[in-house]
Amino acid sequence: MNLRNRFKSFIRKPHNIILVTMAVVLVYLTVIPLFTIIMDTFKVHSSELMRIKGSQVGDLTLYHWKQVLFNPANSGKIFYEPFMNTMGISAGTCLFAILVGGLFAWLVTRTDIRYKNLISTLFIFPYIMPSWTLAMAWLNFFKNDLVGGVPGFFTSLTGISTPDWFAYGPFPIVIVLGMHYAPFAYILIGGILRNMDANLEEAALILKANRFKIMWKVTIPIVLPAMLSTFLLVFSSAMSAFAVPAFLGTPVRYQVLTTQMFRTLNGLNPGYGYLMALIMILIGVFILAMNQKIIGKRRSYTTITGKSSNISLIRLKAIRTPLSVLLMAMILLVCILPLVSFAVESFIMEPGNYSLTNFTTQFWIGSGSPQIANGEPGIFRNSSIYTGFFNSVKLSVLVAFIAGTLGILAGYAIVKRKNSRLSTAVNNLAFFPYLMPSMAFGAIYLSMFAARRGFIPPLYGSFALLVLIGAVKYLPFASRSGVSAMHQLSNEIEEAGTIMGISWFKRMTKIIIPIQKTSFLSGYLLPFISCMRELSLFILLVTPSTRILTTMLFQYNEKGWNQYANAINLMIVGIVVLSNVIVNKVTGASVDKGIGG
Amino acid sequence: MPEIRLKNITKKFGKFLAVDNLNLNINDREFVTLLGPSGCGKTTTLRMIAGLETPTEGEIWIDNKLVFSSEQGIDVSPDKRDVGFLFQNYALWPHMTVYKNIAFGLENLKWKKDKVEERVIELLQMLKIEEFSGRYPSELSGGQQQRVAIARTLATGPKVLFMDEPLSNLDAKLRMEMRTELKRLHVETDSTFVYVTHDQLEAMTLSSKICMLKEGLLQQFDPPLEVYHNPGNAFVADFVGSPNINLLEVTGNNTNLDEVLLNCKELELMYTPVSSSLTVQENQKLLLGIRPEDITIEEGGKLKGIVYSTLPSGMETIVKIDFNGIILTSVVFRGTDFQVGKEIAVNFHENRYILFDAENGKNMGQGELSAL
Ligand SMILES: Nc1ncnc2c1ncn2[C@@H]1O[C@H](COP(=O)(O)OP(=O)(O)O)[C@@H](O)[C@H]1O
Ligand SMILES: [Mg+2]
């Protein structure tokens, strides 16, 4: 066939049009920013004029590279130390998440532990809640007098002052991030354990291998790919976490790459920040490549047959009830207690004083008095909080709608043309934003869209910019669930419609989407939730008119208006958890599928 | 008038050649089967004719209309080819009831509601699935799903019907029943059927013509009995027929006028071609094809052997006979059994024993056979 005819038949297929369009748009929205970042590491920025003598804005320079990487006097403090801290934190978080998540997954799928449904539902809450929730709660409980102000509950109650290493720095960061990402491990490992052919284990059982041996020789090797996958996903997520290290590391000057980035991007050395962002992106890409090499080929969707494996569950016997209660207590501790503490904190007038007379509804429904917080009215009477609330909801709905819809189209087109280079490229491009540290991504979009670009008007300060960056950043979740949904649908289901002359649009809306609606809805849910609780992506981009709840929380927190911060946090958690539960109950969609379970 | 014509159709997946320069003429109202081992390109061929797959090279005509041409850049979309396709896994829409599955295509054509209903009911009756019309596919057995899939495909009355191994997911008994149904449908619907299967018995019993494929290459395109008795090559001979044809490795030499003396170990056979004469080189390696039913077991047979094993099934008995280390399969259409180890004698009465060239497997001719 000649080229023209090949092109004609190529372009007639909707999935090809989708792939080409997506490739172009995603290159523009993710690869160009990457190049912008690279360029920015060689450029002089206006705030750096003082340091780089005799230079002008936009001049090429090796200053940032030299200072960050090759200056024996400075590089250690600026880069190598935070870098090692980041690596350590990420590795520790992975281990913690896999250990805790894997253990829970194994207990729920393989033993007769009680409260399985409740555990399954509650265990993913730490992921749904904003990551700083647990960090704030940790501080509420274990704060010591290092930072001044009132100590936490623990010290108030027992009189014992917590040591610094326990209250701040790497130890609590690993625990908090580990708890936040343990649901990843729970979902991925649990998914494999649930779908894995029970015959494999039973076959070993018949051969009289003992339970431990089965675990070691059969179960672990089978879940190993899922563990690796978890490891790599959690590693790259933990690496770009900002809020938690900011909350828990700052008091002891424990710096990681993201906090360094925030300081430098916002401060006098954006060039440093871009260089750190670039290095983080490179590590992320390396991790993605490894992930694909190790499990990409072997990952088999055919295992998801929905066969119920009726393997005999391990009897926990005497420890069944105590263990169940213990696990439940742990989960409640992690899920519920923080919320209680936020609620309490938002009702007390003077921090640290928990007597009944100190309780007030001022911060919720008060009209505001000049002595307290500059006369800021209570949450329910505060017009700026209403603005933030509506902005947050509007933003999350729009982002979810765009990302989710694109995710369906991407999933459809990628699977339809699977094994082709174009489809692999789009698949990777759609995942790429996952590897972009949110803060750097925000910084780049800020500079990229400050001026008119082609037909795109200047977007700085506009709501559209928030929607755009949110949709791109959360596309990975949606496209993952789209791809896995399409993998489960045989090609013939659509072709049966094609051959009857049913139009592409009708095939999508009447056949494909209705059949896989649960999976596709999950592709809307996760972007919604993530967007609702996102801080670092938007923090550089919001203006007073486009402010959202999370950035307001950050501001209240910085001003030390603790009660407002706690109240807003409670609101965010409430919206997120409630919408998750409602969507889950009504449609069966869940965040699991976006993560890859 | 040929209904479907394939000209030099080639399909490559990357470098892999799935269908190699296929030429095929399928006549109106024929029941053609594409037969071959798994992976030989049957599905690909069918999908190309239906328009679900784009050929790399060649032309396809349906009903005197050019629907695909790589040269001219013509590629008519599947729905404009007026064909129906029955998928191997049925591909029923799980979220629609049986009724809706069948009606959906008609509603899409903007048929009036009462017309749709009339047609659906007609189909439900034709396939004897009226009582399931309100059910969802997951609530049906495999055979019932199959019928729904057929009804759905027939709904719009396509002139050509493609079926990709439609019976392979059914159990043996249902398969038998559905074969009968399909043959009846072929007559009732008055359309052309193109049917894919790897089951030679299905191809033999159903089709008016068999298109035999191997590794993307056409081997033979003939009516079933012709394929059976006069296979184009040793591969085809071996593929059709159960129990399998006996393929004996022999060396041949011309003797007398046009007789060929065949040697296999100590066995010597005289072969007389029935039609044209047959010239072989000295000691040429040949394959002698003998259908099991063409070995007659009778007392006083010229060739003596020992019963090696027997498989009596009631209607027939398959006997393996050992002739001094050469084991041949014979079949007897009687409810008799033979005692293993007993001496037994056979004769060759037919005139359709086939010689193949051992090098390229080509059919060299048919003839008579006698033991020396
Ligand atoms: N989409 C595809 N991509 C690559 N190879 C394919 C594709 N479809 C089929 N093939 C290959 O083409 C050959 C013929 O396939 P197919 O027509 O499905 O065989 P059959 O139906 O006869 O079993 C097989 O070797 C198969 O692996
Ligand atoms: Mg096939």
Whether the Cβ atoms of residue B11 and residue B44 lie closer than 8 Å to each other: yes
The 10 Å Cβ neighbour count of residue A306 is 6
The answer on B279 and B181 residing in a single domain is no
Q: How many CA atoms lie within 13 A of A538 on its CB side?
A: 36
From CA B78, how far away is CA B92, in angstroms rounded? 18
From CA B89, how far away is CA B102, in angstroms rounded? 16
Neighbour-count burial of B299, counting CB atoms closer than 10 A to its CB (0-12 exposed, 13-18 middle, 19+ buried)? exposed
Please work out whether the CB of residue B48 comes within 6 Å of at least one atom of ligand 1. Answer: no
In this prediction, residues A162-179 reach a mean pLDDT of 92
CATH code for the domain in which residue B256 is found: 2.40.50.140
Compute the mean pLDDT over every residue in chain A, rounded to the nearest whole number. Answer: 83
Domain holding A584, by residue range, is 24-33+361-597
The single-letter code of the amino acid at B127 is: L
The answer on A349 and A375 residing in a single domain is no
Whether the Cβ atoms of residue B11 and residue B48 lie closer than 8 Å to each other: yes
Interface predicted TM-score of the whole assembly (ipTM), two decimals: 0.84
Question: Which chain B residues contact residue A12 at CB under 8 A?
Answer: 75, 77
Q: What contacts A369, CB < 8 A, 6 or more positions away? A: A362, A375
Q: What contacts B257, CB < 8 A, 6 or more positions away? A: B277
The answer on B195 and B50 residing in a single domain is yes
| Chain B interface test: which of A3, A6, A499 (most B C-beta within 10 Å) | A499
With 60 as the cut, is the pLDDT of residue B2 above it? no
Percentage of the residues of chain B whose pLDDT score is greater than 70: 99
Ligand 2 centre and the CA of B60: distance in Å? 20
- The residue among B210, B239, B268 that closes a domain is B239
By DSSP bridging, strand B83-86 and strand B160-164 are: parallel
Helices B98-108 and B113-126 pack at an angle, to 10 degrees, of 130
The answer on A145 and A227 residing in a single domain is yes
Name which of A340-344, A491-495, B127-131, B232-236 the model is least confident about: A340-344
The pair phi, psi for residue B210, each rounded to 5°, is -110, 135
From CA B365, how far away is CA B357, in angstroms rounded? 10
Nearest CA of chain A to the CA of B204: how many Å? 27
The single-letter code of the amino acid at A577 is: V
Sign of the four-CA dihedral B221, B222, B228, B232: negative
The answer on A210 and A302 residing in a single domain is yes
Give the residues across from B25 on adjacent strands: B5
Residue A338, preceding peptide bond in cis (omega within 30° of 0)? no
Radius of gyration of the CA atoms of chain A, in A: 25
Q: What is the pLDDT of residue A189?
A: 83
The single-letter code of the amino acid at A235 is: F
Token output for B274: 């029935």
- Measured between alpha carbons, how far apart are the two ends of chain A, in Å? 42
DSSP codes, A528-559:
HHHHHT--TTTTTT--GGG--HHHHHHHHHHH
Any domain includes A66: no
- In this prediction, residue A284 has a pLDDT band, given cuts at 50, 70 and 90, of confident
The answer on A355 and A367 residing in a single domain is no
In this prediction, residues B234-238 reach a mean pLDDT of 96
The answer on B356 and B293 residing in a single domain is yes
Phi-psi region at B221: left, alpha or beta (left = phi > 0; alpha = psi -120 to 50)? beta
In this prediction, residues A271-298 reach a mean pLDDT of 80
From CA B230, how far away is CA B366, in angstroms rounded? 8
The answer on B223 and B90 residing in a single domain is yes
For chain B, how many structural domains are there in total?
A: 2
Domain holding B254, by residue range, is 246-371
The answer on B252 and B188 residing in a single domain is no
Query: Residue A5 is nearest to which of B70, B83, B109, comparing CB atoms?
Result: B70
Does A8 contact B73 at a Cβ distance shorter than 8 Å? yes
Strand residues in B55-100 grouped as ranges (E): 57-62, 65-69, 74-75, 83-86
The answer on B223 and B258 residing in a single domain is no
The answer on A110 and A143 residing in a single domain is yes
Interface membership of B325 toward A (CB under 8 Å):
no
The answer on A371 and A349 residing in a single domain is no
A156 closest CA partner among A359, A352, A355? A352
Q: How many CA atoms lie within 13 A of B237 on its CB side?
A: 28
Q: What contacts A86, CB < 8 A, 6 or more positions away? A: A239, A256, A257, A258
For the segment A354-383, what is each residue's pLDDT rounded down to a tens digit?
777 777 777 777 776 666 666 777 777 788
- In this prediction, residue A558 has a pLDDT band, given cuts at 50, 70 and 90, of confident
Please work out whether the CB of residue B43 comes within 6 Å of at least one atom of ligand 1. Answer: yes
For the segment A449-477, what is each residue's pLDDT rounded down to a tens digit?
877 877 888 888 899 999 999 999 999 88
Please work out whether the CB of residue B38 comes within 6 Å of at least one atom of ligand 1. Answer: yes
The answer on A372 and A332 residing in a single domain is no
Give the ligand whose atoms come closest to the C-alpha of residue B212: 1
Residue nearest to atom 5 of ligand 1 (CA): B13
Interface membership of A421 toward B (CB under 8 Å):
no
The answer on B67 and B152 residing in a single domain is yes
CATH code for the domain in which residue A309 is found: 1.10.3720.10
From CA A65, how far away is CA A278, in angstroms rounded? 11
DSSP codes, A96-144:
HHHHHHHHHHHHHHHB--S-HHHHHHHHTHHHHS-THHHHHHHHHHH--
- The residue among B239, B256, B283 that closes a domain is B239
Which residues are found with C-beta within 5 Å of the ion, ligand 2?
B 43
Token output for A107: 């207990």
- In this prediction, residue A145 has a pLDDT band, given cuts at 50, 70 and 90, of confident
For chain A, how many structural domains are there in total?
A: 2
Q: What is the pLDDT of residue A306?
A: 34
For the segment B41-84, what is each residue's pLDDT rounded down to a tens digit?
999 999 999 999 999 999 999 988 999 998 888 889 888 888 99
From CA A508, how far away is CA B168, in angstroms rounded? 29
The answer on A410 and A351 residing in a single domain is no
Give the ligand whose atoms come closest to the C-alpha of residue B18: 1
Sign of the four-CA dihedral B163, B166, B172, B175: negative
From CA A482, how far away is CA A412, in angstroms rounded? 7
- The residue among A359, A383, A408 that closes a domain is A359
A-B contacts (CB, under 8 Å): 71
Any domain includes A6: no
Q: Which of residues A196 and A32 earns the better pLDDT score?
A: A32
> Which secondary structure element, helix H or strand E, spans residue B328, and what is its range?
strand B326-332
Interface membership of B87 toward A (CB under 8 Å):
yes
Whether the Cβ atoms of residue A191 and residue A110 lie closer than 8 Å to each other: no
The answer on B220 and B117 residing in a single domain is yes
Token output for A307: 């066969």
B54 closest CA partner among A5, A82, A30, A556? A5
Any domain includes A251: yes
The answer on B126 and B259 residing in a single domain is no
- In this prediction, residue A304 has a pLDDT band, given cuts at 50, 70 and 90, of very low
CATH code for the domain in which residue B94 is found: 3.40.50.300
pTM recorded for the entire structure: 0.84
Radius of gyration of the CA atoms of chain B, in A: 25
Any domain includes A73: no
For the segment A318-365, what is each residue's pLDDT rounded down to a tens digit?
888 888 899 899 888 888 888 888 888 888 877 767 777 777 777 777
For the segment A88-129, what is each residue's pLDDT rounded down to a tens digit?
999 999 999 999 998 998 888 888 888 888 888 888 888 888
- The residue among A329, A359, A389 that closes a domain is A359
From CA B68, how far away is CA A9, in angstroms rounded? 11
The single-letter code of the amino acid at A453 is: R
Query: Residue B54 is nearest to which of A4, A9, A492, comparing CB atoms?
Result: A9
Alpha helix segments (H runs only) across A159-269: 164-167, 170-195, 198-206, 211-214, 220-239, 243-249, 257-266
